[in-house]
């Protein structure tokens, strides 16, 4: 099964997507824009069509019809870059993507089961192209040539083995590229469909139109092999886009930044990689005058990822904290650090790997919103004193399921779930510690005597104690020396869950 995506309004799409997304729908219906190629009108917007301007008209004739018409010269290089953007997005679904001058052809036979069928792939492909600001006709057929011809005439057709031949036969013969110069000759002999053309003698077709026509027909109906040069993702991802208007608020930057993220995630899928660090560079209007540096946003991930929605959320959090010094006219997205990673498996139940990815994403969101210094982890310190045996450190990247600790099987004295910051002195009754009621000592003593190197010496005997009336299990100790404010006697240091 093949999917073809034809971009019939590509030059117009490039003209309109210069404006912010919120304005595009209104501008497409009202703004009179025409694309000029070799002095002639090639593409007409809805607003220009309402003024009576049609393709093929001269530029001066278009100005005569409407004084407010906006002529835009066709930019072939920009169209090529836009098709490349679409190809990067299409790599999400298959590595076999062929680039045409105004569209794409995808071999999705091996991807149908993974994505849930050709209809799902076609819809997801369309959604991504819409976000890129490109209008697409999408069709699917058992051969690439048939899908490409159908996409040029119709939108949304999913043709199977049984019906695609009849659909192709109803198409105009000028869709066959070698026949385009012979449109008048075909009309003169009454040949208006591919089906009528196929009934002509093959020898006469070769003599009059050339052998390439029959080759295209045979490829369409599976008699000849179809050969393509597949698009290859670049070795390094660094894409730059120019904004059509000067952007002065970070909220409007997110749409253009997501366009870049769409391309980057397709690049990562093709390279079987995930990103661990990427950067967004905002080029200000004054850069062209050499007055202001570029604003760079570095985004580090807690765990490698190529999930579009997750990366978009991180980008949104970082942009929300940014204050623009001047207007932004261009932006560049670069994947700075990559890590090889296969596609994730579909899991019925959460595994250690998936749970660690969730933890990594939580750390990333908190760090991006609160700052790197606000998010810490508890790390073990080589100190026997309970109040000094843990420290707050920066979070480390989550690489997957953590291996079991080499000390996990060792036997240690019990430690409380809740350790008090400062021990609480306890009164004694009948030489026993008292906390709401007389405590019964269950486990102990555990002697901790250390701290001589920093003049914070402790000498304590720890016990696990029970308050039978309240059913509380406590961690208490008896101080054996007097240091600072710690007098000899009993203290409460923690609670067991």
Q: What is the pLDDT of residues 230-251, one digit of tens each?
A: 999 999 999 998 887 788 888 8
Q: Is 117 helix (H, G, I), strand (E, B) or coil?
A: coil
Cβ neighbours for 369, distance < 8 A, ≥ 6 positions apart: 317, 320, 321
Asked whether residue 292 carries a pLDDT value surpassing 80, the answer given is no
Asked whether residue 82 carries a pLDDT value surpassing 90, the answer given is yes
**Nearest partner of 30 among 12, 15, 50, judged by Cα:** 50
* DSSP-derived secondary structure letter, 344: P
Q: What is the mean pLDDT of residues 380-387?
A: 82
Q: How confident is the model at residue 411 (pLDDT cuts 50, 70, 90)?
A: low
Greatest mean pLDDT among 78-82, 321-325, 344-348, 411-415 lies in 78-82
Are the C-beta atoms of residues 333 and 280 closer than 8 Å to each other? yes
Q: How confident is the model at residue 456 (pLDDT cuts 50, 70, 90)?
A: confident
Q: What is the mean pLDDT of residues 366-370?
A: 72
Q: What is the mean pLDDT of residues 317-340?
A: 88
Rounded CA gap, 263 and 239, in Å?
8
pLDDT in tens, 48-60: 999 899 999 999 9
Phi and psi at residue 5, in whole multiples of 5°? -120, 110
Q: What is the mean pLDDT of residues 181-194?
A: 90
Rounded CA gap, 107 and 101, in Å?
17
pLDDT at 349: 56
Name which residue leads in pLDDT, 367 or 461: 461
Q: What is the mean pLDDT of residues 385-411?
A: 61
Q: What is the mean pLDDT of residues 468-487?
A: 78
pLDDT at 26: 79
* DSSP-derived secondary structure letter, 411: -
pLDDT in tens, 20-32: 676 777 778 888 8
Are the C-beta atoms of residues 460 and 395 closer than 8 Å to each other? no
Share of the chain above pLDDT 70, in %: 88
Asked whether residue 228 carries a pLDDT value surpassing 50, the answer given is yes
pLDDT at 16: 87
Asked whether residue 196 carries a pLDDT value surpassing 60, the answer given is yes
Asked whether residue 18 carries a pLDDT value surpassing 60, the answer given is yes
Q: What is the mean pLDDT of residues 252-256?
A: 85
In the numeric block, the tokens 């278009």 are attached to 62
Q: How confident is the model at residue 88 (pLDDT cuts 50, 70, 90)?
A: very high
Which range has the worst mean pLDDT, 93-107, 409-423, 426-440? Answer: 409-423
pLDDT at 401: 43
Asked whether residue 400 carries a pLDDT value surpassing 50, the answer given is no
Asked whether residue 359 carries a pLDDT value surpassing 80, the answer given is no
Asked whether residue 221 carries a pLDDT value surpassing 80, the answer given is yes
Asked whether residue 492 carries a pLDDT value surpassing 70, the answer given is yes
Name which residue leads in pLDDT, 274 or 379: 274
Name which residue leads in pLDDT, 451 or 367: 451
pLDDT in tens, 434-449: 998 889 999 988 998 8
C-beta neighbour count of 84 within 10 angstroms: 15
Rounded CA gap, 342 and 270, in Å?
10
Asked whether residue 485 carries a pLDDT value surpassing 70, the answer given is no
Q: How confident is the model at residue 406 (pLDDT cuts 50, 70, 90)?
A: very low
Q: How confident is the model at residue 403 (pLDDT cuts 50, 70, 90)?
A: very low
Q: What is the mean pLDDT of residues 81-101?
A: 93
Averaged pLDDT of the chain: 85
Share of the chain above pLDDT 90, in %: 44
State the pairing for strand pair 458-467/440-450.
antiparallel
**Nearest partner of 174 among 187, 165, 162, judged by Cα:** 187
pLDDT in tens, 104-140: 999 999 999 989 999 999 999 999 999 998 999 999 9
pLDDT at 9: 93
CA dist list (Å): 215 to 162, 209, 284? 22, 12, 52
């Amino acid at each position: 099964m093949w999917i073809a995506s034809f971009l019939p309004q590509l030059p117009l799409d490039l003209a309109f997507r210069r404006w912010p997304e919120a304005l595009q729908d209104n501008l497409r219906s009202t703004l009179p824009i025409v694309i000029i190629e070799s002095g002639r009108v090639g593409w007409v917007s809805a607003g220009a069509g309402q003024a009576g301007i049609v393709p093929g008209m001269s530029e001066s004739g278009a100005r005569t019809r409407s004084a407010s018409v906006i002529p835009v010269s066709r930019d072939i290089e920009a169209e090529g870059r836009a098709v490349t953007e679409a190809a990067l997005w299409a790599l999400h679904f298959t590595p076999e993507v062929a680039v045409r001058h105004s569209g794409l052809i995808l071999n999705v036979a091996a991807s149908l089961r993974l994505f849930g069928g050709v209809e799902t792939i076609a819809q997801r492909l369309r959604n991504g192209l819409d976000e890129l600001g490109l209008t697409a006709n999408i069709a699917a057929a058992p051969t690439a040539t048939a899908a490409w011809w159908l996409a040029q005439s119709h939108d949304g057709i999913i043709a199977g083995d049984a019906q695609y031949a009849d659909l192709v036969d109803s198409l105009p013969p000028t869709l066959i590229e070698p026949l385009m110069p012979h449109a008048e000759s075909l009309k003169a002999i009454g040949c208006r469909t591919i089906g009528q053309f196929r009934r002509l003698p093959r020898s006469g077709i070769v003599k009059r139109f050339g052998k390439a026509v029959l080759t295209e027909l045979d490829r369409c109906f599976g008699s000849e092999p179809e050969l393509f040069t597949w698009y290859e993702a670049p070795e390094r991802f660094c894409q730059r886009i120019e904004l059509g208007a000067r952007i002065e608020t970070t909220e409007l930057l997110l749409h253009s930044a997501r366009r870049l993220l769409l391309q980057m995630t397709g690049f990562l899928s093709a390279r079987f990689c995930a990103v661990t660090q990427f950067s967004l560079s905002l080029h200000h209007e004054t850069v062209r005058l050499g007055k202001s540096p570029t604003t760079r946003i570095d985004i580090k991930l807690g765990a490698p990822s190529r999930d579009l929605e997750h990366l978009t959320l991180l980008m949104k959090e970082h942009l929300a904290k940014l204050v623009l010094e001047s207007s932004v006219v261009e932006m560049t997205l670069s994947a700075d650090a990559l890590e090889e990673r296969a596609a994730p498996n579909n899991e019925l139940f959460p595994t250690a790997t998936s749970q660690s990815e969730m933890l990594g994403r939580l750390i990333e969101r908190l760090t991006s919103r609160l700052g790197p210094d606000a998010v810490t982890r508890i790390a073990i310190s080589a100190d026997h004193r309970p109040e000094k045996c843990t420290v707050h450190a920066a979070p480390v990247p989550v690489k997957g399921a953590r291996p079991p600790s080499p000390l996990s099987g060792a036997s240690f004295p019990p430690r409380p779930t809740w350790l008090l910051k400062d021990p609480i002195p306890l009164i004694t009754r009948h030489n026993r510690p008292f906390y709401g009621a007389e405590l019964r000592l269950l486990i102990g003593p555990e002697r901790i005597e250390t701290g001589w190197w920093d003049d914070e010496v402790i000498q304590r005997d720890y016990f696990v104690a029970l308050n039978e009336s309240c059913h509380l299990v406590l961690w208490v100790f008896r101080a054996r020396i007097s240091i600072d404010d710690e007098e000899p006697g009993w203290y409460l240091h923690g609670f067991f869950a």
